[in-house]
Amino acid sequence: MNQLDAMQVFVRVAELSGFTAAAESLGLPKATVSLAVQQLESLLGTRLLHRTTRSVQLTQDGQVVLERSKDLLADMSELQQMFRTEPSALSGRLRVDMPLVIARELVIPQLPDFLRQHPALQLELSSTDRRVDLVREGFDCVLRVGALLDSSLIARPVGQYRMINCASPRYLAAHGMPQSPADLDRHQLVHYLNNFGGRDPGFEYVDPQVPGSVRHVAMAGVLTVNNSEAYTAACLAGLGIVQSPEPGMRSYLASGQLVEILPDFRPAPMPISFIYANRRQLPQRVQVFMNWMTDLLQSHLQDSAAA
């Protein structure tokens, strides 16, 4: 294994605090990962890691080498791409994560064209409603909808997602069509929580009389879910009102399976951002993918003036 490859292995071991996790992330045998770090330590003449049966920790020299290695690897990636102007020159593995609805409704239908333009790319696409650990799970970038909590990561704003209120015709036939938030005391809300045990604030809307003012109406509901698929399915089954990004509801609205309600009392738009690790220079394949997805999402974003 050459020195740059050994450096890459060492960085993964340090980021994931273990040889086994690094080996799984890189798709290499654990013995190969261990040998690469030993060779790097021999080359530099210093111990980089404290190894115990339960954990791996950086030495003081290891911390210095980690930061320098990240810089060197970023510089090499930039150098390799500097004179490659053809799209087909993009190559390597690209591991990304995004919400399930965005992957299913927007990205995957357009992926054939993107991959035809970049045939040497190997895309690993994760789509889940949970918040993945970008560093530990080896993602190049993650698309997040909602408030960001990862202060140690770099965020690239994309825009704001249009949100709408929906219910099924079956539900409306049983409960009536609400005309204002004052009518919601006679209605049911499908509650959504990432972690059970918390409290759903209820029906959210931007007060049209006070621009920028967000209100909440506490509502009854017999069902609480923790993922977007179940949330949409519950609405289709007539179990209550949901508040969801408009693109994920578009096909159901067009077919008549769902109806938009209270259009003058929509929830506040949700920010969309790419996040990625704090690197001086992102690989070009990551930048190209983020630019492509940003263009793809533009027609589904809240107009800045309206927001």
User: Which residues partner with 194 through β-bridges?
Assistant: none
Note the pLDDT tens digit of each residue in 45-71.
Answer: 999 998 876 778 889 888 888 888 877
Cβ-contact 95, 37 below 8 angstroms? no
Residue type, 236: L
Is the domain of 288 the same as that of 154?
yes
Give the chain's count of helices (H) and strands (E).
Answer: 10, 14
Is the domain of 248 the same as that of 217?
yes
Residue 87 pLDDT > 80: no
Distance from the first to the final alpha carbon of the chain? 53
Note the pLDDT tens digit of each residue in 252-290.
Answer: 999 999 999 999 999 988 899 999 886 656 788 888 999
Tell whether 195 is covered by a domain. yes
Predicted local distance difference test score (pLDDT) of residue 307: 41
Pairing, β 270-276 against β 141-145? antiparallel
> Shortest CA distance to 197 belongs to which of 159, 177, 226?
226
Q: What is the CATH number of the domain that holds 24?
A: 1.10.10.10
Is the domain of 186 the same as that of 238?
yes
Residue 110 pLDDT > 70: yes
Where residue 81 falls among pLDDT bands split at 50, 70, 90?
low
Tell whether 130 is covered by a domain. yes
Note the pLDDT tens digit of each residue in 201-246.
Answer: 899 999 888 877 899 999 999 999 988 889 999 999 999 999 998 8
Is the domain of 126 the same as that of 274?
yes
Note the pLDDT tens digit of each residue in 113-165.
Answer: 999 998 888 898 998 777 788 877 778 899 988 877 766 788 899 988 889 99
Name the H helices within 176-279.
Answer: 228-236, 246-255
What whole-number distance in Å separates Cα of residue 91 and Cα of residue 2?
A: 20
Predicted local distance difference test score (pLDDT) of residue 66: 86
Paired tokens of 63: 């911390």
Query: Which residues make Cβ contacts (< 8 Å) with residue 76, sequence separation at least 6?
Result: 4
What whole-number distance in Å separates Cα of residue 206 and Cα of residue 306?
A: 12
Domain end point (choices 81, 100, 127) = 81
Structural domain harbouring 64: 3-81
Tell whether 306 is covered by a domain. no
Q: What is the CATH number of the domain that holds 227?
A: 3.40.190.10
Is the domain of 224 the same as that of 94?
no
Name the H helices within 163-298.
Answer: 169-175, 228-236, 246-255, 284-297
Q: State the pTM of this model.
A: 0.66
Is the domain of 201 the same as that of 250?
yes
Tell whether 23 is covered by a domain. yes
Where residue 178 falls among pLDDT bands split at 50, 70, 90?
very high
User: Which 3-state string (H, E, C) describes 22-66?
Assistant: HHHHHCCCHHHHHHHHHHHHHHHCCCCEEECCCCEEECHHHHHHH
Mean pLDDT of 167-188: 95
What whole-number distance in Å separates Cα of residue 130 and Cα of residue 124?
A: 17
- Higher-confidence residue of 77 and 245: namely 245
Is the domain of 175 the same as that of 257?
yes
Predicted local distance difference test score (pLDDT) of residue 177: 96
Is the domain of 182 the same as that of 141?
no
Is the domain of 168 the same as that of 155?
no
Tell whether 243 is covered by a domain. yes
- Higher-confidence residue of 307 and 293: namely 293
Is the domain of 65 the same as that of 124?
no
Tell whether 226 is covered by a domain. yes
Q: By percentage, how much of the chain surpasses pLDDT 70?
A: 91
Is the domain of 185 the same as that of 230?
yes
Predicted local distance difference test score (pLDDT) of residue 278: 67
Q: How many domains does the chain have?
A: 3
Tell whether 290 is covered by a domain. yes
Is the domain of 102 the same as that of 24?
no
Tell whether 307 is covered by a domain. no
